[in-house]
Amino acid sequence: MTRGFPGFTASDGMNGEGLALGLASVRNIGYEFPSEPALVSTAVYRLVLEQSANVEEAIEMLHQLPITFVNSSPDEVISHILLADRSGASAVVEFLPEGIVVSQTDTPYQVMTNSYWAGPADQPSCQRYQTAVEELEHADGTVDGNRMMEIMSSIQASTQWTVVYDLEELSLELALPGGSFPHRYRFSLADFIAQMNEVK
């Protein structure tokens, strides 16, 4: 997902190794923007998807790059990201006064909304977060794509799009907001990769 930015900078995505990245906006609570030249966050997210095979490699890369945001005012909105890979690993990566902070869980799921995991850790007070966690706990953390889309539909708020990734099959279902996500589109990265290999 690029939101039409020049250069196809990534807002969400999945790569051929089964690594997925999604972002959500949060209020900047003191992340210090690098004084030296830095890469805009969405360009970094694309690099992560192009050059990392799993969550561990993605986190290592994020720690190595100087990252800034389009809105550089201390009170402006920035983003945090959720990483997941086909091994089941996941992490929330956030940009805080102390730098990049990584949060992981020992549950078979990890939920991220527009609330912080670290720093002020305000996700417990987020109703959208609590609803998603309750639904996933009720299902022991295992839901299919259709059920996940239902959960996402129930917590949408000013949602531009919703994506459910299948990191084993390298496919995704994209939903555009409106009611119970009536407009859905399925894409298969695995099929695309197979077609490209045939061209070679």
pLDDT band at residue 153 under the 50/70/90 scheme = confident
Helix (H) and strand (E) counts in the chain:
5, 10
According to the CATH classification, is domain 6-199 in 3.60.60.10? Answer: yes
- Classify 177 as helix, strand or coil: coil
| Structure-block tokens of residue 67 | 């990252």
pLDDT higher than threshold 60 for residue 91? yes
Sequence-distant (6+) residues with CB within 8 A of 92 are 80, 81, 82, 83, 102, 103, 104, 110, 112, 117, 118
Task: Write out pLDDT tens, residues 14-44.
Answer: 999 999 999 998 999 989 888 889 998 988 9
pTM given for the model: 0.88
pLDDT higher than threshold 70 for residue 76? yes
pLDDT of residue 120: 79
pLDDT higher than threshold 90 for residue 62? yes
pLDDT of residue 73: 59
